[in-house]
């Protein structure tokens, strides 16, 4: 149990990559606080994990990640109960496929508020405890479309490009304080949103992948756990988890 006695907060932890990461961390002995968009979603996810790991410490919170005040309040309650956060996983995010000429300020703000401002807020709050102790790990979910772009819904790749910049910059700034800052950039992964993509769109994508399958949330969770467990002196800014189908131009919109 390589994460025994570690406290982790995982945003977007009620489903997909976030839920798989929570599952992996619990298996490795961590105490996990998962954040979801609603307390109901958080509670459902916690119940599932408790059924699988009855002796584990797992709890759910539902702060408004776009609000520093809300994040600070929720994190304070969690750390007072479970201890200072050792690991922060910024996984919450939204995607959409609005064409650029139909974009509104409200649509743009909705994506940026969660995907960028939310990452800033959680990282800023969690880093206070980490800096005070001189150790910690912050890991964010980026995306391959931050590199390749996508044919519509430009705010999503733009937001993930911002996550890349935040990761590289904070790795340099917080590294000397004992804090590792990393990111993973998944390719096409079979999450809830991908399951809604029509079969005629999915099948050609799968045909271009050597293993003939989409990435699974567990694939990303395993990579996240591997990064978390690296020695303090090892700092990888970003790992790209990329099916071949994403190496040649933009692909349909998906959600990590």
* Contact (CB, 8 A) for 14 and 44: yes
Task: Calculate the average pLDDT of the chain.
Answer: 87
Nearest to 238 by CA among 154, 149, 159, 161: 161
| Residues constituting the chain | 256
Catalytic residue among 53, 82, 103, 156: 156
Q: What is the pLDDT of residue 245?
A: 43
What is the C-alpha end-to-end distance of the chain, expressed in Å?
27
Q: What is the pLDDT of residue 147?
A: 82
Q: What is the pLDDT confidence band of residue 246, given thresholds at 50, 70 and 90?
A: very low
**What is the Cα 38 distance to its own chain's centre?**
17
pLDDT tens for each residue of 157-207: 999 999 999 999 999 999 999 999 999 988 777 777 666 566 776 777 777
Q: What is the pLDDT of residue 151?
A: 78
Which tokens belong to 49?
């994990």
pLDDT tens for each residue of 57-103: 999 999 999 999 999 999 999 999 999 999 999 999 998 888 899 99
CA separation for the pair 66, 63 (Å, rounded): 9
CA separation for the pair 195, 183 (Å, rounded): 24
What percentage of residues in the chain have a pLDDT greater than 70?
A: 86
Ordered strands of the 238-241 beta sheet? 58-61, 31-35, 7-11, 87-90, 136-141, 179-186, 238-241
Nearest to 21 by CA among 189, 149, 144: 189
Which tokens belong to 178?
């004992």
Q: What is the pLDDT of residue 194?
A: 67
- The H or E element that residue 13 is part of is none
Q: Annotated catalytic, 82? A: no
pLDDT tens for each residue of 93-144: 998 888 899 999 999 999 999 999 999 999 999 999 999 999 999 999 998 8
- Beta bridge mates, 9: 33, 88
- pLDDT value at 235 more than 60: no
Q: What is the pLDDT of residue 80?
A: 96
CA separation for the pair 46, 202 (Å, rounded): 31
- pLDDT value at 28 more than 80: yes
Among the residue ranges 49-63, 109-123, 221-235, the one predicted with the least confidence is 221-235
Q: What is the pLDDT of residue 255?
A: 38
- Region 219-232: what's the mean pLDDT? 84
CA separation for the pair 48, 139 (Å, rounded): 24
What percentage of residues in the chain have a pLDDT greater than 90?
A: 64
């Amino acid at each position: 149990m390589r994460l025994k006695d570690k406290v982790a907060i995982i945003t977007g932890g009620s489903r997909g990559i976030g839920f798989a990461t929570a599952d992996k961390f619990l298996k490795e002995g961590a105490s996990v606080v998962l954040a979801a968009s609603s307390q109901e979603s958080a509670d459902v996810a916690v119940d599932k994990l408790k059924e699988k790991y009855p002796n584990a410490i797992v709890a759910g919170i539902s702060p408004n990640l776009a609000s520093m005040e809300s994040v600070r309040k929720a994190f304070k309650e969690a750390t007072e109960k479970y201890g200072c956060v050792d690991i922060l996983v910024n996984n919450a995010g939204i995607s959409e496929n609005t064409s650029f000429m139909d974009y509104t300020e409200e649509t743009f703000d909705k994506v940026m508020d969660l995907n960028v401002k939310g990452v800033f807020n959680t990282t800023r709050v969690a880093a206070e405890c980490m800096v005070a102790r001189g150790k910690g790990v912050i890991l964010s979910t980026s995306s391959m479309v931050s590199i390749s772009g996508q044919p519509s819904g430009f705010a999503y790749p733009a937001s993930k490009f911002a996550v890349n910049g935040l990761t590289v910059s904070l790795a340099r700034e917080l590294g000397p304080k004992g804090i590792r800052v990393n990111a993973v950039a998944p390719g096409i992964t079979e999450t809830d949103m991908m399951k809604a993509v029509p079969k005629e769109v999915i099948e050609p994508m799968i045909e271009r992948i050597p293993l003939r399958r989409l990435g699974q949330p567990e694939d990303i969770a395993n990579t996240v756990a591997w990064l978390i467990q690296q020695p303090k002196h090892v700092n990888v800014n970003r790992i790209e988890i990329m099916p071949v189908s994403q190496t040649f131009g933009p692909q349909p919109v998906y959600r990590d």
